[in-house]
Amino acid sequence: MHLHELIESFLDERELAWQSEETGKYFVTLPGTKKLQTNCWLIVGREALLVEAFVCRQPDGKHEDVYRFLLRRNAKLYGVHYTLDAEGDIYLVGRVGLHAVTAEELDRLLGQVLEAADGDFNSLLEIGFADAIRREWDWRVSRGESLANLKSFKHLVTDAES
């Protein structure tokens, strides 16, 4: 099976949303729970399959703590690692030699992307965006707006009030 056919078959079998406007470049949407979706590129290069997934924008504060979290987390990741772009936004990136690309390897690689992006999302928000979360909470409370999607961060508000 040709590599492009393998990738497309893999994505279809797992019912993942994907687009490809250029041969060898796949824009895949991975569904999550904490981070509702993770957008990920799979790019077939000359010698390797590249993966790149946006995780979150540059933190508002506590940059050193965020970077420490990312560096420690890198030691536990398979096939990808955290990195920053020129603006400081956080991504997961990795590469696999074309000879090693199989359905099992794609499953493991995209599974790791999803586990990391979705699993680390709230921790990254808590560390790097705590002040913004508190401001959003206060704004919503003052206007009687729903706090439903901020429930995971209630401890940031109650801890600050203690």
Q: For residues 116 and 78, give the distance between their C-alpha atoms in angstroms, rounded to a whole number.
A: 10
**By the 8 A CB rule, do 122 and 92 touch?**
no
pLDDT tens string 75-119 = 999 999 999 999 999 999 999 999 999 999 999 999 999 999 999
Q: What is the pLDDT along the chain (162 residues), one digit of tens a residue?
A: 689 899 999 999 999 999 998 889 999 999 998 888 999 999 999 999 999 999 999 999 999 999 999 999 999 999 999 999 999 999 999 999 999 999 999 999 999 999 999 999 989 988 887 777 788 777 888 888 877 777 777 777 775 554
CATH architecture, domain 3-128 = 2-Layer Sandwich (3.30)
Pick the closest to residue 80 from 115, 104, 45, 56 (CA basis): 115
71, 80 Cβ separation under 8 angstroms: no
Q: So where are the chain's domains?
A: 3-128, 131-162
Q: Report yes or no: 129 and 159 within 8 Å, Cβ to Cβ.
A: no
- Distance from C-alpha of 37 to C-alpha of 117, rounded to nearest angstrom: 9
How much is the pTM?
Answer: 0.85
